[in-house]
Amino acid sequence: MAKDVIIACDFDNVQTTLQFLDNFKGRKPFVKIGMELYYASGPDIVREIKRRGHKIFLDLKLHDIPNTVRKTMKVLSNLDVDMTNVHAAGTIEMMSAALEGLTREDGTRPLLIAVTQLTSTSEQRMQDELLINASIQDTIAKYAQNTRQAGLDGVVCSPLEAALVKQACGQSFLTVTPGIRFSDNTKDDQVRITTPGKAREIGSDYIVVGRPITAADNPVAAYERCLKEFLEIN
């Protein structure tokens, strides 16, 4: 199974993003385009980064009625990204509709994954505000099983939950995990974090790394370090 480091390009404009990617010269890291950049720049930024030869995870976390999600995924599938996502909370029916919309006439499609519970949601808030009377671990395992039942490829989760997800859904079910820091980094606003090496040990297939690379003095060196630690290259 392909394991890779995905750089979260959390910039608010095209120029900064392309200048950042220019640092990598011949290297073509897998990049994540999130809501901030997509809503600021539209689909053109996706086309340009794709034209430059990068793989793209389009992180728009769709969550709406099944018909709307199906039709939106059909539009997004024309952008030829490599991975995109929905919220598992939208139900199995919505996730199935997303998969249907994303699948092209020739049967090909980007990887489709689902967000289980956001890592910013605590068990307390989930129970008090969302009235979900289960533990957060059981909720994540159930949402991951729903995701697999709908035919999706995997979930976005904390690296600390990767083993739980693999146990619930099997080894080939993908885990894409943000919340990564080097052992000598600050945590920033992240709470449940781990290092690239530990994430590999727990079972992450793809790690999503933002500030440890984008805010580093030398982003290319930080990216190389991340790859080396995650892929255990000596």
Name which of 201, 120, 127 is nearest 160 in CA terms: 201
- Distance between CA atoms of residues 126 and 16, nearest Å: 36
- Which residue's CB atom is positioned nearest to ligand C5P? 210
Task: Give start and end residues of each alpha helix (H) in the chain.
Answer: 14-22, 35-41, 43-51, 66-77, 91-102, 123-130, 136-149, 162-169, 196-202, 211-214, 219-231
Residues 194-223, interacting with ligand C5P (CB under 6 A): 208-212
Site for ligand C5P (CB under 6 A): which residue of 40, 118, 191, 221? 118
Our finding on whether 119 is near ligand C5P (CB under 6 A) is yes
Shortest spacing between CB 156 and ligand C5P, in angstroms: 6
In sequence order, the β-bridge partners of residue 207 are 5, 177
Considering only residues 75-114, where is the footprint of ligand C5P by CB under 6 A?
none
**How many C-beta atoms lie closer than 10 Å to residue 131's C-beta?**
7
Site string for ligand C5P, 30-69 (x = CB under 6 A): ----x-----------------------------------
> Of the two residues 8 and 165, which places its CB atom closer to ligand C5P in the complex?
8
Rule CB under 6 A: say whether 178 interacts with ligand C5P.
yes
The CA radius of gyration of the chain, in Å to the nearest whole number, is: 17
CA distance linking residue 53 with residue 68, whole number of Å: 30
- Check if 61 is active-site: yes
Residue 8 near ligand C5P by CB under 6 A: yes
Least distance to ligand C5P, CB of residue 165, Å? 13
User: Of these, 93, 138, 188, 232, which contacts ligand C5P (CB under 6 A)?
Assistant: 188
- Cβ within 8 Å of residue 154, ≥6 positions away: 111, 113, 114, 147, 165, 169, 173, 174, 175, 176, 205
Q: According to CB under 6 A, which one of 10, 48, 82, 100 is a site residue for ligand C5P? A: 10
What residues make contact with ligand C5P under the rule CB under 6 A?
A: 8, 10, 34, 118-119, 156, 178-179, 188, 190, 208-212
Catalytic residue positions?
61
